[in-house]
Chains A and B, each alone.
Chain A
Amino acid sequence: MVTAARPRSQRAKEIRRHVLIYAGLSPYILIAVFPLYWMAITALKQEADLYRMDVIPVWFNLPPTWKNFDYLFNHTNYGAWIVNTMAISALVSVITLLTAIPAGYALARLRLPGAENLGIAIFMTYLVPAIILFLPLSRVVSMIGLQDRWWALVVVYPTFTIPFCTWLLMGFFKTVPAEIEEAARVDGCGQLGALVRVVLPVSLPGVLTSVIFAFTLSMQDFLYALAFVSVGDQKPVPLGVATELIRGDVFFWGSLMAGALLVGVPVAILYNFFLDRFITGITGGVVR
């Protein structure tokens, strides 16, 4: 009897432990997810269903509708905003890779004098707040004639993606074994050849991570877009949604939430997958 009961009580204990943990976590999950849920349900509700407090608002009281999405694509510049956002992020990623890969490699592998301090100095610029830089940068932007064009953001976003991705890639390149690079050199590769043909393919996960961060960090910005771009069809999505779907006192809540979600959710999912890398990137492997 006792021997039979034993595993069952072990199991019961496990279950109880799980129930306790889930119970502890559920308020956090509720707090974290509810605003997003509220946005999603707002995006799918009919106008009349939004402005009723007499019924339970957390579910549909009238059938869901695609009308808000329809409005977004047919009566606003949303299509253009998506194209702008994608183009900005893609170009920023290219600029970032072209500068951060060589820099990260040089700092990690070439035993340059002062490499440590240089690496830290580059990384620290990631922390210089946009709010201190945006006034002088607005001068720079108007000087090169990019005021009110999304190209301005292509020029400005690398100021935070290059420091971050250089730091991240430096960490990656350090983990590539020196032997494979030496082997390539023996086989007749030049220094650049060894980087392109051997080190880069091995560090592909690091490069991919950098692309994701350059992409998502570009989409996180709001201040630079707000300060530099005020023409309707030149805006990136977050700015366009926040400025064009509010007319005076009138908020197009359904379309506003629809537009925000369409870009917010993909970014959140991408970012989530690489969050650990992000944390390791900024804490710089302090604990190892």
Chain B
Amino acid sequence: MTASPNGGEPEGGARAAAVPIAGRAGVRAWWRTPTARRLAFGYTLLSPAILYVALLVGAPFLFSLYLAVSDASVGDPFAEFVWLENFKAAWESPTFWIALRNSILVTVVAAIFKSLLGTTLAFLLLQPFRGKKLIRGLVVIPFTVPSAVSVLGWKWMYDSQFSVVNWALNRVGLISAYGTEGWPIWLGQPHLALAAIIAVNVWRSFPFTAIVLLAGFTAVPQEVIDAAKVDGTTFMQRFRFLVIPMIAPILFVGLLFDTVFTLSDISVVLLLTNGGPGNATQILPTLAYQIGILAGALGRGAAISLFLFPLLLPAMILLLRNLKRREW
């Protein structure tokens, strides 16, 4: 991270360009130019943030690659290289495949419901009406409450006997009474538990989808819409050929963010089912936590958590390309 002399800055540019040819004296003179001082100042200001991120995100990331190919465990600091042994062990364990499948299933199914609920909500919130601020504030509550807190609330709502969800379903006649076959035990039956987890995921983030979409919709200039109206386009045409292309980038970023959040979220599963019943609701993050921290097999855990990376990578590359295209 050295200050480069060709900073492309008009007032100092001419002198900076001469630096490589000049000798020691020239270098010393260059250090006194405004450009050089600005660059030195700039990188000094940047360095604490970069150091922090490099030391506590960059280095741990590399360290986790190392852990994944070692037999490190909590009690044993002297790890040996085992190459791809951890990945192989994961690959051969049926629980890993359940976790991988659930991770993808939860993310995809939740994304579908979030898009449906989010889009319809965004359209409703786009209309002018009284009390919009208040209603918007109420509707985004799920996204703003810390997830551990709201998941605890859901756990109580899914209680096997005193579930308010079941009480309501029973009252409207959709399920039969407690103690019978027709009384769903949300967190105790494999398929229901998975559905319950997806429901909480959707509940938590459909407001986010709606707000991102709303931000996109309101960013489309009214004049453009009006001009298209004058030209005699229908609503659907305007939507398809004007609004969607214009909000596509923002939609995209919102969707990618949501995917990353959902894939790596651990609190919903950990607090609701802890991966159970059996291993039916295990996802990659919970499995990595159980094996890496609870069972103390750091290497195994790191390998499992790294399987998330290929799932995340496409989203992150797309996001990167999108951010680079933005105007500066």
User: Measuring CB to CB, which residues of chain A are less than 8 angstroms from any residue of chain B?
Assistant: 17-18, 21-22, 24-25, 28-29, 31-33, 35-36, 38-39, 42, 50-51, 53, 57-58, 98-100, 102-103, 105-107, 110-113, 116, 118, 120, 122-125, 127-140, 155-156, 158-159, 162-163, 166, 191-192, 219-220, 222-223, 226-227, 238-239, 241-242, 251, 253, 256-257, 260-261, 263-265, 267-269, 271-272, 275-276, 279-280, 282-288
B260 interfacial by beta-carbon distance below 8 Å: yes
Interchain CA distance A288-B37 in the complex, whole Å: 33
Residue of A111, A263, A269 most packed against chain B (CB within 10 A) = A111
Q: Report B-chain residues with C-beta under 8 Å of the C-beta of A238.
A: 146, 148-149
Residues of B within 8 A of A (CB): 4, 6-9, 37-39, 41-43, 45-46, 48-50, 52-53, 56-61, 63-64, 67, 117, 120-121, 124-125, 127, 129-130, 135, 137-150, 152-154, 156-157, 161-162, 164, 167, 178, 203, 207, 211-212, 215-216, 219-220, 246-247, 249-250, 253-254, 257, 260, 263-264, 266-267, 270-271, 284-285, 288-289, 292-293, 298, 301-302, 305-306, 308-309, 312, 316, 319-320, 322-324, 326-328
Q: Identify which of A113, A263, A284 contacts B146 (C-beta below 8 A).
A: A263
Give the distance in Å from the alpha carbon of A133 to the alpha carbon of B55 in the complex.
Answer: 12
| A129 lies within 8 A of B42 (CB) | no
- Give the residues in chain B near A227, CB-CB below 8 Å: 289, 293
Asked if B46 contacts A118 (CB within 8 A), the reply is: yes
Q: A275 to B140, Cβ gap below 8 A?
A: yes
Query: B162's contact among A29, A53, A286, by CB below 8 Å, is which?
Result: A53
Question: Of B7, B127, B141, B215, which contacts A280 at CB under 8 A?
Answer: B215
Determine the chain B residues whose CB is within 8 A of the CB of A131 once the complex forms.
264, 266, 284-285, 288-289, 305, 308
B308 with A129: CB separation less than 8 A:
yes
Given contacts A22-B129, A220-B146, 10 further A-B contacts (CB under 8 A): A99-B48, A116-B324, A116-B328, A118-B50, A136-B302, A256-B156, A260-B149, A286-B326, A287-B215, A288-B327
Say how far A264's CB is from chain B's closest CB, in angstroms.
Answer: 4
The reply to whether A135 and B293 contact each other, CB–CB distance below 8 Å, is yes
Can you report 23 residue pairs joining A to B where beta carbons are below 8 Å apart?
Answer: A32-B203, A35-B154, A35-B157, A57-B164, A58-B164, A111-B9, A116-B324, A129-B260, A129-B263, A129-B285, A130-B264, A132-B306, A159-B52, A220-B146, A227-B289, A242-B152, A260-B152, A267-B144, A271-B144, A272-B140, A275-B144, A282-B257, A287-B220
Q: From known contacts A123-B323, A130-B264, A283-B250, infer whether A53 and B285 are also in contact, taking CB-CB under 8 Å.
A: no
A272 B137 Cβ-Cβ under 8 A:
yes
Min C-beta distance of B8 to chain A, whole Å? 7
Q: How far is the CA of A239 from the CA of B322 in the complex (A)?
A: 36
Q: A286 to B250, Cβ gap below 8 A?
A: yes
Residue in B closest to A120 when the chains form the complex, CB atoms: B323
**A103 CB contact (under 8 Å) in B49, B150, B162, B216:** B49
Chain B minimum-CB-distance residue to A261: B149
Determine if B250 and A29 form an interchain contact, defined as CB atoms under 8 angstroms apart. Answer: no
Q: Chain A: interface secondary structure?
A: helix
Contact of A220 among B56, B140, B147 (CB under 8 A): B147
| Cross-chain contact B124 with A222 (CB below 8 angstroms) | no
Once A51-B162, A223-B266, A287-B249 are accepted as A-B contacts, the answer to whether A122 and B50 lie under 8 Å apart by CB is yes
CB-CB < 8 A to A51: which residues of B?
161-162
Measured CB to CB, the closest approach of chain B to A101, in angstroms, equals 9
CA–CA, A239 to B212, complex, Å?
Answer: 29
Identify the closest chain A residue to B154 (Cβ): A35
Cα distance, A166 to B47, chains bound together (Å): 12
> Are B4 and A113 in touch, CB under 8 angstroms?
yes
Identify A33's interface contact among B8, B41, B141, CB under 8 A.
Answer: B141
Cβ contacts under 8 Å, B59 to chain A:
136
* B150 cross-chain contacts in A, Cβ below 8 A: 35-36, 264
How far, in angstroms, from A130 to B157 measured CA to CA in the complex?
28
Q: How far is the CA of A276 from the CA of B9 in the complex (A)?
A: 35
Closest beta carbon of chain B to A275's beta carbon, Å: 6
Please determine whether A287 and B247 come into contact, CB atoms closer than 8 angstroms: yes
**A133–B57 CB distance below 8 A:** yes
Closest CB in chain A relative to B246 CB, distance in Å? 7
Residues of A within 8 A of B37 (CB): 191
Q: Known: A25-B124, A29-B139, A102-B48. Contact between A135 and B298, CB under 8 A? A: yes
Residues of A within 8 A of B322 (CB): 286
A6 to B134, CA, bound (A): 31
User: Which of B61, B138, B323 sits near A133, CB closer than 8 Å?
Assistant: B61
In the A-B complex, the 3 residue pairs with the closest CB atoms = A129-B264, A103-B49, A102-B45
Choose among B53, B289, B302 the residue with the greatest number of A CB atoms under 10 Å from its CB.
B53
Q: Do A222 and B52 touch (CB < 8 A)?
A: no
- Residues A133 and B45 in contact, CB atoms below 8 Å apart: no
Q: Given A35-B157, A113-B4, A135-B293, answer yes or no on A191-B263 (Cβ-Cβ < 8 Å).
A: no
Query: Contacts A57-B167, A222-B267, A288-B327 given: A32-B140 contact, CB under 8 Å?
Result: yes
- Of A24, A57, A106, A111, the residue contacting B45 (CB under 8 A) is A106
Residues of A within 8 A of B4 (CB): 113
Chain B residues within an 8 Å CB radius of A239: 148
Whether A120 pairs with B148 at a CB distance below 8 angstroms is: no
Q: Which of A31, A241, A271 has the most CB of B within 10 A?
A: A31
Distance A260 CA – B145 CA, assembled complex (angstroms)? 10
Contacts of A120 in B (CB 8 A): 320, 323-324
Looking at the assembled complex, report how far the CB atom of A88 sits from the nearest CB atom of chain B, in whole angstroms.
13
A229–B248 CA distance with the chains assembled, in angstroms: 42
Q: Residue A113 contacts which of B6, B125, B138, B148 (CB distance < 8 angstroms)?
A: B6
* Residue of B whose beta carbon sits closest to that of A285: B326
